[in-house]
């Protein structure tokens, strides 16, 4: 058991080190990295299946019993996040073979990519606040490196802003950890669930909640802490943006969900109110920011922000259906968003630019690309019967159940504005003719490049379609996961068996 | 900087510092010290060498590329998780092997913990030097 | 003793935040150093300040003989210092690279990634 739960981060670290060692032989490094990603995917599938079968599983590193040692836990939320991390890791690794240039590979792209996956997976399995911090840092260092790898001038500029704001987030988190430890004497999440409920200091709890919301909010790109994201996400190669968009901000959301369901008492409404306001403003400001942009990747970057609002909305509403909606939205959004960014990369390869004014004609030369974009984009906007529709439906129903009509209204307005941005990309990049006519078709690429670019995209679109047409199994899974989150007794009993539940 | 005095003493000092770093590494198990601090001390030796002679000389003295050193170190640390697997324990369980033990004497302990520490030592040394060599371009 | 240390932390945070608000990236870095050390001190205080011996069990004993210091905050601080050191070193390298490539470390003049809109554009 211990090994199964440790593999999601041990495997990428080992793969990354071997890839880093072989970086001067890019072919070999690529093969190592791809093998590692396949291995990681198999591991996370095994974990997912076991968690679905047996419920929450836990392991103690170094045979030290909880809450003294390092605990690894996977409940349903962790398992589905791990599965998504493995999936995104694999498809982006395939895409990166075509997209990332040789110079960046020699500088160690594959090694840092694997390290990033290790940090992401580590954050999802850890059962301990301090280790969450450590994995965040691993992820952060790897993302810094990926962001500025290649050293173009715009990359350095975007990198500085990314680094500056994210470092503040880690310091907030560290201070919060210090205070949690001072208040309770433990950092094990399950033990904190028990210990923090007994803390009778409302002032300290409020301060802690704000510190953690700021720390994770910066990572998750919540309003008004998201300014690092539009400043930096469009500077690295597309493969890097895709994996960032798919996983990085979602780790922040995951940390928020974990913290405010597990360690804080369930009746701590202060945090939920704060999160609700932040979520609504995030949704609106993100989508309005996107409407003002005129570049493929920047529009998508702003949409990442607005989608984060939806993810946090489910947590803020804090009902079983809302949390289930959040988790469903997470699955849908990671798949659709990663896919859209990969498509933007292919679109640029074929038209030569990200700027919507300078490109066009993609529908004519490549109907396949147009079709996959259409499905992914309209799923993001929440069109039935695509996956985004069910995700939004769950969240809107949950807000109507609580008679929060204005929440539902904001969600619907955001959806409409998303549709506006997606239609803009559709009409500019795909429908209108290319201004200079210099657009190449997919068939002009080599066969291997075509496979490397289109296989991940088609795979992700198939998942989006599948989730849209047969949402029931996933909805049921999400509802079970949400029930688990709202009643952490099972989680606590698994991690601390001596407590007897 | 090319000062004969600095260059002469550096040759001596570097050897001493490196020796001291190994001492810190070994003593770290039961007393203050350990892989991280020892790695920093060892990298200080190479930094001093680079200041007294030149960056190229320091690189040559290291013989392997610092990135490779860091990767090897991290792999060694990871390898210390493996013995636990063979015995059916969770990863990173501390295991000891005593060599040449006798009456009242346990012998020389070799442990996975030590392997982990040596890995950290190399990883820190490699990482710090990689960074130093990148920033310090002369 | 705790209250004195808490005051020190407060001053460090205030100075750190003040420095970080400057547009000069070097000032930002110094602020960051102050702030990260303040965070380390927070953990240190959180572990309670006691006069006690290191938590090592003497040879032949099963448990420590006298009250020992809490080792966990120290382990956490050490980890945080190591990580902070890595991040800081990385940021320093980034600032140096920025200065070489862009010729400035004033963040107000760094508008490459998000160029200000030109007049008459959209």
What tens digit of pLDDT does each residue of B43-73 get?
999 999 888 888 888 888 888 888 888 888 9
| C56 falls within a domain | no
Judged by CB atoms within 8 Å, which residues 162-191 of A form the interface with C? 163-164, 167-168, 170-171, 174-175, 177-179, 181-182
Nearest Cα residue to A379 out of A303, A288, A292 = A303
Q: Where are the alpha helices (DSSP H) in chain B?
A: 4-27, 35-52, 55-62, 66-79, 82-87, 112-135
Bridge partners of A73?
A58
Give the closest of B30, B36, B135 to C93, CB-based: B135
| Per-residue pLDDT band at A501 (split at 50, 70, 90) | very low
Residue A245 has pLDDT above 50, yes or no: yes
Question: Closest Cα of chain B to C85: distance in Å?
Answer: 10
Pick A125 or B84 by higher pLDDT.
A125
| C61 falls within a domain | no
Phi/psi of residue A6, nearest 5 degrees? -85, -25
d(C-alpha A283, C-alpha A310), whole Å: 7
Averaged pLDDT, A428-449: 81
Q: If 0-12 CB within 10 Å is exposed, 13-18 middle and 19+ buried, where does residue B5 land?
A: exposed
What separation in angstroms does the CA of B94 have from each of A449, B81, B82? Answer: 47, 9, 11
Least confident of A131-140, A334-343, C40-49: C40-49
Domain that holds residue B107: 4-135
Residue B137 has pLDDT above 70, yes or no: no
Record: contact C93-B131, CB cut-off 8 A: yes
Cβ-count burial B81-114 (b if 16+ within 10 Å, e if not):
bebbeeeebbbbbbbeeeeeeeeeeeeeeebbbb
| C115 falls within a domain | no
Record: contact B135-C96, CB cut-off 8 A: yes
Residue C96 contacts B where some CB pair is shorter than 8 Å: yes
Mean pLDDT score across all residues of chain A = 88
| Structure tokens belonging to residue B127 | 């990482």
Q: Using a CB-CB distance cutoff of 8 angstroms, which residues of chain A are in contact with residue C38?
A: 175
Domain that holds residue C6: 2-51+70-109
Per-residue confidence (pLDDT) for residue C120, from 0 to 100: 54
Give the closest of A130, A171, A232 to C35, CB-based: A171
Q: Which residue of A has its CA nearest to B65?
A: A21
Residue C9 has pLDDT above 90, yes or no: yes
Per-residue confidence (pLDDT) for residue A500, from 0 to 100: 47
Instruction: Please report how many Cα atoms fall inside a 13 Å half-sphere around the Cα of residue A293, on the Cβ side.
Output: 27
Residue A418 has pLDDT above 60, yes or no: yes
| Per-residue pLDDT band at B89 (split at 50, 70, 90) | confident
Averaged pLDDT, C40-46: 89
Q: Which residue of B has its CA nearest to A9?
A: B78
Q: Which residue of A has its CA nearest to B112?
A: A62
| Per-residue pLDDT band at A498 (split at 50, 70, 90) | confident
**How many CB atoms are closer than 10 A to CB C49?**
13
| C96 falls within a domain | yes
A385 cis-preceded (ω within 30 degrees of 0)? yes
d(C-alpha A167, C-alpha C91), whole Å: 9
| Per-residue pLDDT band at B1 (split at 50, 70, 90) | low
| Structure tokens belonging to residue B130 | 């990689």
Output the CA torsion A22→A25→A28→A33 (10° steps): 60
Record: contact C82-B135, CB cut-off 8 A: no
Highest mean pLDDT among A178-187, A348-357, C97-106: A178-187
Residue A124 has pLDDT above 90, yes or no: yes
Classify the C-alpha dihedral C71-C76-C80-C82 as positive or negative: positive
Are residues A373 and A421 in contact, defined by beta-carbon separation less than 8 angstroms?
no
Bridge partners of A321?
none
Cβ-count burial A484-495 (b if 16+ within 10 Å, e if not):
bbeebeebbbbb
Q: Using a CB-CB distance cutoff of 8 angstroms, which residues of chain B are in contact with residue C75?
A: none
Helix or strand holding residue A57 (H, E): strand A57-60
pLDDT cut 70: percent of chain A above it: 99
The ipTM (two decimal places) reads 0.88
d(C-alpha A426, C-alpha A419), whole Å: 10
Are residues A469 and A385 in contact, defined by beta-carbon separation less than 8 angstroms?
yes
Pick A216 or A267 by higher pLDDT.
A216
Q: Give per-residue pLDDT as tens, A288-312.
A: 988 888 888 888 899 999 999 999 9
Residue C67 has pLDDT above 90, yes or no: no
Residue C80 contacts B where some CB pair is shorter than 8 Å: no
Averaged pLDDT, C21-36: 90
Averaged pLDDT, A117-146: 91
Are residues A407 and A399 in contact, defined by beta-carbon separation less than 8 angstroms?
yes
Look up the CATH number of the domain holding residue C22. Answer: 1.10.287.3510
Per-residue confidence (pLDDT) for residue C50, from 0 to 100: 74
Question: Closest Cα of chain A to C41: distance in Å?
Answer: 9
Record: contact C40-A157, CB cut-off 8 A: no
| Structural domain total, chain C | 1
Residue C71 contacts B where some CB pair is shorter than 8 Å: no
Highest mean pLDDT among A23-37, A39-53, A351-365, C105-119: A39-53
| Per-residue pLDDT band at B138 (split at 50, 70, 90) | very low
Residues with Cβ < 8 Å from A443, sequence gap 6 or more?
A450
Query: Which of C48, C89, C113, C114 to probe by mutation at the A interface, max A CB count within 10 Å?
Result: C113
Are residues A306 and A281 in contact, defined by beta-carbon separation less than 8 angstroms?
no
Least confident of A49-58, A113-122, A329-338, A351-360: A351-360
Averaged pLDDT, A454-481: 90
d(C-alpha C28, C-alpha C81), whole Å: 18
Q: Give per-residue pLDDT as tens, A19-70.
A: 888 888 888 888 899 999 999 999 999 999 999 988 888 888 877 777 777 8
d(C-alpha A122, C-alpha A253), whole Å: 15
Record: contact C89-B36, CB cut-off 8 A: no
Record: contact A10-B67, CB cut-off 8 A: no
Are residues A429 and A354 in contact, defined by beta-carbon separation less than 8 angstroms?
no
Q: DSSP letters along A343-392, please?
A: HHHHHHHHHS-SBGGG---HHHH-HHHHHHHHHHHHHHHT-TTSHHHHHH
Phi/psi of residue A312, nearest 5 degrees? -75, -25
Are residues A40 and A6 in contact, defined by beta-carbon separation less than 8 angstroms?
no
| Structural domain total, chain B | 1
């Amino acid at each position: 058991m211990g090994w199964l739960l440790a593999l999601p981060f041990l495997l990428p670290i080992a793969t990354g080190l071997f890839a880093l060692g072989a970086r001067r032989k890019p072919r070999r490094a690529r093969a190592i990295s791809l093998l590692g990603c396949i291995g990681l995917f198999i591991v996370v599938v095994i974990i997912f299946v076991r968690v679905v079968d047996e419920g929450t599983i836990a392991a103690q590193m170094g045979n030290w019993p909880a809450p003294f040692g390092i605990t690894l836990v996977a409940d349903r939320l962790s398992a589905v996040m791990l599965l998504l991390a493995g999936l995104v890791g694999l498809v982006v690794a395939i895409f990166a073979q075509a997209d990332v240039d040789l110079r960046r590979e020699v500088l160690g792209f594959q090694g840092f990519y694997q390290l990033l996956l290790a940090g992401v997976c580590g954050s999802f399995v850890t059962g301990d606040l301090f280790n969450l911090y450590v994995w965040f840092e691993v992820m952060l260092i790897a993302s810094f490196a990926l962001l500025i790898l290649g050293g173009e001038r715009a990359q350095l500029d975007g990198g500085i802003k990314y680094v500056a704001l994210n470092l503040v987030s880690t310091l907030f988190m560290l201070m919060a950890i210090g205070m949690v430890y001072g208040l309770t004497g433990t950092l094990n999440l399950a033990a904190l669930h028990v210990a923090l409920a007994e803390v009778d200091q409302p002032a300290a709890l409020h301060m802690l909640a704000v510190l953690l919301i700021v720390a994770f909010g910066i990572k998750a790109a919540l309003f008004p802490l998201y300014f690092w994201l539009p400043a930096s996400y469009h500077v690295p190669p597309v493969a890097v943006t895709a994996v960032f968009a798919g996983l990085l901000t979602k780790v922040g959301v995951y940390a928020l969900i974990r913290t405010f369901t597990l360690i804080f008492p369930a009746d701590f409404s202060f945090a939920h109110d704060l999160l609700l306001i932040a979520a609504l403003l995030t949704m609106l400001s993100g989508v309005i920011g996107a409407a003002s942009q005129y570049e493929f990747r920047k529009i998508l970057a702003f949409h990442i922000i607005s989608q984060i609002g939806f993810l946090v909305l489910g947590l803020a509403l804090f009902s079983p259906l809302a949390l289930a909606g959040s988790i469903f939205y997470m699955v849908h959004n990671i798949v659709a968003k990663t896919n859209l960014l990969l498509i933007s990369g292919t679109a640029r390869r074929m038209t030569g630019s990200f700027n919507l004014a300078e490109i066009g004609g993609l529908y004519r030369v490549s109907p396949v690309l147009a079709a996959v974009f259409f499905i992914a984009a309209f799923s993001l906007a929440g069109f039935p019967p695509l996956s985004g529709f069910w995700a939004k439906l769950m969240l809107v129903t949950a807000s109507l159940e609580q008679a929060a009509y204005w929440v539902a209204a904001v969600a619907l307005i955001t959806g409409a504005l998303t549709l506006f941005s997606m239609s803009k990309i559709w009409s500019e990049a795909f429908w209108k003719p290319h201004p200079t006519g210099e657009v190449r078709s997919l068939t002009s690429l080599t066969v291997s490049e075509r496979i490397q670019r289109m296989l991940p995209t088609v795979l992700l679109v198939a998942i989006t379609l599948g989730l849209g047409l047969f949402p029931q199994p996933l909805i049921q899974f999400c509802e079970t996961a949400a029930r688990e989150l709202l009643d952490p007794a099972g989680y606590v009993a698994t991690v601390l068996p001596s407590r007897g539940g | 900087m090319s000062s004969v005095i600095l260059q002469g003493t550096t040759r001596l000092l570097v050897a001493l510092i490196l020796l001291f770093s190994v001492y810190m590494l070994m003593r770290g198990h039961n007393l203050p010290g350990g892989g991280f601090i020892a790695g920093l001390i060892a990298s200080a030796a190479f930094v001093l060498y680079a200041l007294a002679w030149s960056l190229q000389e320091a690189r040559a003295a290291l013989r392997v590329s610092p990135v490779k050193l860091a990767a090897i170190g991290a792999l060694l640390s990871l390898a210390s998780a493996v013995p636990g697997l063979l015995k059916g324990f969770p990863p990173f369980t501390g295991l000891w092997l005593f060599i040449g033990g006798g009456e009242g004497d346990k012998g020389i302990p070799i442990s996975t913990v030590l392997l982990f520490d040596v890995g950290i030592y190399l990883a820190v040394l490699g990482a710090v030097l990689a960074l130093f060599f990148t920033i310090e371009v002369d | 003793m705790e209250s004195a240390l808490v005051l020190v932390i407060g001053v460090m945070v205030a100075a750190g935040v003040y420095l970080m608000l400057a547009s000069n990236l070097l000032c930002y870095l110094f602020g960051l150093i102050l702030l990260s050390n303040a965070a380390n001190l927070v953990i240190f205080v959180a572990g309670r300040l006691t006069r006690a011996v290191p938590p090592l069990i003497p040879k032949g004993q099963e448990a420590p003989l006298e009250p020992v210091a809490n080792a966990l905050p120290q382990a956490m601080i050490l980890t945080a210092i190591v990580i902070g050191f890595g991040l800081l070193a990385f940021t320093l390298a980034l600032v140096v690279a920025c200065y070489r490539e862009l010729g400035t470390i004033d963040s107000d003049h760094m508008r490459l990634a998000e160029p200000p809109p030109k007049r008459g554009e959209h």
